[in-house]
Amino acid sequence: MSQITNEGLILACSAIGAGLAMIAGIGPGVGQGIAAGQGAAAVGRNPGAKGDVTTTMLLGQAVAETTGLYSLVIALILLYANPLLSKFLGL
């Protein structure tokens, strides 16, 4: 392992960074789970409002998911449209 090129180093670190970025997936998972649990509790208390509760829950879950998707976009950029390569290597 004496020969590590600059490009290889950048690509390897980018892959690690993409993996680290996806740790953000924990947040939306917890948030969506809490929203779903509260939604189930609300339907249990008031089964008549099932439609409204489901609508509100899905909307809230989709908004909570946004942060996870930001991390996904960052991971995709690091893997497939890496800005560091062109910046440092002039490729």
Partner 1 sequence: MGNEVDFMIHGLIPLFGGKVWITTTHVCTVIVMVTILIFAFAARRAILRGDPDHPSGLQNVVEFLVETVANLVGSNMGRHAPKYINYIGTIMLFIFLSNISGLFGLRPPTADYCTTLCLALFTFVLIQYNNVKYNKFGAITGLFQPLPILFPINLIGEFATPLSLSLRLFGNVMAGTIMLALFYGLLPIFVKIGIPTFLHAYLDLFSGAIQTFVFSMLTMVFISEKIGEN
Taking the least distance from each CB to partner 1, the nearer of 2 and 66 is: 66
State which of positions 42-61 bind partner 1 (CB under 8 A).
55, 58-59
Q: Rounded to whole angstroms, how far apart are CA atoms 87 and 79?
A: 15
- Binds partner 1 (CB under 8 A): choice among 9, 13, 34, 73: 73
List alpha helices for the chain, DSSP H.
6-21, 26-45, 50-64, 66-80, 83-89
The rounded Cα 4 to chain-centroid distance in angstroms is: 31
CB atoms within 10 A of CB 1: 3
> Measured from the CB of residue 1, what is the shortest distance to partner 1 in angstroms?
27
Total of residues contacting partner 1 (CB under 8 A): 14
Shortest Å distance, C-beta 52 to partner 1: 10
Measured distance CA(91)–CA(67) in Å, rounded: 31
Cβ of residue 4: shortest distance to partner 1, in angstroms?
A: 26
Interface positions with partner 1 (CB under 8 A): 55, 58-59, 62-63, 65-66, 68-70, 72-73, 76, 80
